[in-house]
Amino acid sequence: MSKIVVVTGMPGVGKTTVLENALELANKEGANFKCVNYGDVMFEIVKKEGLAEVRDDMRRLSPDVQKRVQKLAANSISETGGNIIVDTHSTIKTPDGYLPGLPEWVLKALQPTNIVLVEADPKEVANRRKGDASRVRDDELESSMEEHQNMNRAVAMSYAMYTGAPVKIIMNHDLETAVGELVDLLKN
């Protein structure tokens, strides 16, 4: 039976770093997963439509446009087949408020077997964001980051109620430990 593991975390938490390292180790041990970045799939769509020039512009699109693009991306990913890790965000912070990263139509298409939240202390996240020159990040207070992680937890549990997929929280204070926890989940 194929597995679809959704790995989420707010921007700058180190989710993709944990994920890339875990994917490499788990596949060396025979887990046979491929990783799809949900935002990359969405960006390909909006770029093709001329709606954004850089990926970070997507969160400024209207909620209606984001919802339509989410649906198109979910359908594309669901057609991939095999064991898949979906690298995404549980919520997207927009000017209008928090938008669920995996609304009903996305969950129906993906049918995840597991939902993982990668988290870190807001101070750690702030430092990681400052050191990441590859992305354009909004300045954010630590209290706002904490709120974002709390929203991610609440929304992840609603995803679990809808799909029956368990939610696992992996704290990314130490990369090796966080990677090991995700590898264990992928191999089971």
pLDDT band at 86; cut points 50, 70, 90: very high
Most distant CA pair in the chain: distance in Å?
44
Helix (H, G, I), strand (E, B) or coil at 95: coil
Per residue in 12-38, pLDDT (tens digit) is 899 999 999 999 999 999 999 999 999
Structure confidence by residue, pLDDT tens digits, 40-83? 999 999 999 999 988 878 878 888 898 899 899 999 998 888 99
Burial 151-173 (b: 16+ CB within 10 A, else e): bbeebbeebeeebebebbebebe
Residue 26 CA: distances (Å) to CA of 30, 109, 130: 6, 25, 30
pLDDT tens digit sequence for 167-180: 999 999 999 999 99
Question: Which tokens belong to 13?
Answer: 């938490």
The pTM score is 0.86
Q: How many residues does the chain have?
A: 188
**Three-state DSSP state, 75:** helix
Take residue 11 and report the two structure tokens written for it.
């921007």
In angstroms, the CA 33 to CA 10 distance is 23
Domain ranges of the chain: 4-181
CATH of the domain spanning 4-181: 3.40.50.300
